[in-house]
Structure 1
Amino acid sequence: MTITARTLPFAVLTCALLWGSAFPGIKAIYAEWERVGVEPTLANRMLLAGIRFMAGGMILLLLAKQPWKEWKQTDKASLFWFAATQTGIQYLLFYSALAISSAVMGGLLVATGSFWWLLLAPIILKTPWPSKSQWLLIALGACGVLFAVYRPGAGSGNPALGALLFCCSTLSGSIGVIILQRILPSMGARAATGFGLSIGGAMLACCGFAAWPELASLFPPKVIWLTVYLALVSATGFGLWNHLTQLFPVNLLAGYRFLIPVCAVSLSSLLVAGESPGIGIYIGGSVVIAAVVGLQRLQINQAKGPKPSKTN
């Protein structure tokens, strides 16, 4: 099915539901580890993430048309940095944040990716800098994040450090999406995502080298099935999202990202035991989403441009 501007929100909603379900999925793995007596150490988390993303990447490479031909045509340094930022660094920070903070908090802070994009795109892609209105909305979003961290609710763990790690994670992912724009002219989105997930997953697995001897104990049956699901989430969500970056401007897509925190917070609240959003998440989250929606409306109005003046 061809994705048009009219069907774009539904495509983004699909990504949002997939990514939103990953938060409770990872928390369920941590809970299962606790049940069987496995500590969610950094090495264990990195090995889990590495296997998940390598599996997701391989699925996409199998579905890509000519991945190895495109590999030969693509700048390897750009591909390496894409894999490192969108998968390796982003999920090293993300899995660490989820281990010390709540899935609800993480779901909300996914929205900070929209702010990072507006700040980074002018530096890397040489797009126009944010307008005064956009700067005000970015500041409003930052205030919403601070309010959410101040009163995050039950099961929030260490909200300050968790929020810092989540924000750094979305910063790394935003850099990855911008680097992707340099890769897409020589490599399709499906192959680029497949290589990015596979290489980034290998980086994470190497970071978890100390956990390799404990591989069998880390993957009881429930964890295996959850990891397979998360691998499919990665393959489908990232594959679709990176395809959208081929069809639509990055700044326009950033505006629709408000759907991601809505889905993530909702699914985490419903599915993660022991977590319930506090007043900070409700109010701060509303402020963040309002800021993202405002940025979206500004992007749409800018894309339309000024109306031509009438002449006599």
Structure 2
Amino acid sequence: MTVSPRMCPFAVLLCALLWGSAFPGIKAIYAEWENIQVLPDMQNRLLLAGVRFIIGGFVLLLISKSPIKQLKSTPFLPLLGFAAAQTGIQYAMFYTALAVSSAVLGGLLVASGSFWWLLLAPLILKTPWPTRVQWSLIGIGAAGVLLAVYKPGAGSGQPVLGGILFCASTLSGTLGVIILQRVLKTMGARAATGYGLLLGGIMLTLAGAGAWSDFTQLFNLKVILLTCYLAMVSAVGFGLWNYLTSLFPVNLLAGYRFLVPVCAVVESSLLVAGETPGLGIWIGGLLVIFSVVALQRVKVVQ
């Protein structure tokens, strides 16, 4: 299957809708745990994330072409680094951030991945450094993030801690995309994503070993169904996204990533009880999205 350049924004929109739905999905699991008097502590969160990504990884590998053969021809260290960055480390911080702050704030801050890319690509991939205009737009985006953290709205919990963790999470995810470019030289995007989710899921499950004894209490029917949905989100969303990175320049895709925070904020606002975006989210969100879109237009003009 190929995706034409005209269809690329719609493919990214599908990814955005799926990823956006993950925020209220995880919050729904945390709410269910509170209903059954189980705290979403670190061990429980890590186990939940691990189970989700192991399932998602298995699903992708089952529908991949010759995944074992591709694994044998791929250096294991870059694959392990990709799994650690895009799944293990990113989601350990992401699940913690969602436990201490709001899904709405997290939905907005996923846009920080575009800023990380502009800052890291020159260091790692030796692409040109941002111009003065681009630095100015990055500054506007950073101001939007600070404003969103300062006035996030109802149900925000600990927005400063959550904001730091969300941004650190997207930093790890951006490093994962950079490492993925090396993995894709010898492995297809679907298999690479599958192994990344599986290996990262195993890392998270081992890190959450302290919660293994409470597995049956943590995973009642509702949590199992939600976890299976989240696994599908991972398999389809990351599978499609990483496939797009094999067809189009990552700089081009980064320009469409403004769809991710838009979908995440809207879906979280509608589906998460007790969360209402404040003035900082609205104004800060507009600044962030403006800067992301403007950065892409500046690159296109150049």
Same fold (TM over 0.5): yes
TM-score (norm 2): 0.99
Q: With structure 1 as the length reference, what TM-score do the two structures score? A: 0.96
Q: 1:70 offset after TM fit, Å? A: 0.7
Structure 2 counterpart of 1:66: 66
Which residue is 1:239 aligned to?
239
RMSD: 0.7
Please identify runs of 4+ aligned residues in structure 1 that moved more than 4 A. Answer: none
Matched to 1:196, the amino acid is: G
| Per-residue deviation, 1:260 | 0.1
- 1:110-259 alignment to 2 at 5 Å? 110-259=110-259
Q: Is the 8 A contact 1:252 1:299 kept in 2?
A: no
- Alpha-carbon offset, residue 133 of structure 1: 1.2
Shift of 1:30: 0.2
Q: CA-to-partner distance for each residue in 1:238-266, whole Å, 9 max, x for gaps?
A: 00000000011111111110000000000
Say if 1:46 and 1:204, in contact at 8 Å, map to a contact too. yes
Deviations 1:69-89 (A, max 9, x none): 111111111000000000000
2:205 partner letter: A
> Would the aligned equivalents of 1:56 and 1:194 in 2 still touch at CA under 8 Å?
yes
Tell me, in whole angstroms, the C-alpha distance in 2 between the residues paired with 1:14 and 1:233. 10
Deviations 1:264-299 (A, max 9, x none): 000000000000000000000000000000011122
- Give distance in 2, aligned partners of 1:5 and 1:137: 26
The residue type paired with residue 224 of structure 2 is: I
Q: Deviations over 1:174-215 (max 9, x none)?
A: 000010001101000000000000000000001100000000
**Contact 1:255–1:299 (CA<8 Å) still a contact in 2?**
no
Farther off after superposition, 119-128 or 214-223:
119-128
Task: Tell me which amino acid in the other structure corresponds to 2:192.
Answer: A
**Cα distance in 2 for residues equivalent to 1:118 and 1:150:** 25
Distance 2:183 2:128 in 1: 21
Correspondence list, 1:64-103, <5 A: 64-103=64-103
How many Å separate the matches in 1 of 2:62 and 2:33?
31
Where 2:81 maps in the other structure, the secondary structure is: helix
- Work out which of the two has the higher radius of gyration on C-alpha atoms and give 1 or 2: 1
Structure 2: unaligned runs, 5 residues or longer? none
Q: Helix, strand or coil for the counterpart of 2:40?
A: coil
Instruction: Give 1:2 deviation, angstroms.
Output: 2.6
- Percent identity of equivalent pairs: 68
Q: Which residue of structure 1 aligns with residue 31 of structure 2?
A: 31
Q: Counterpart amino acid of 2:229?
A: Y
Q: What count of residue pairs does the alignment treat as equivalent? A: 302
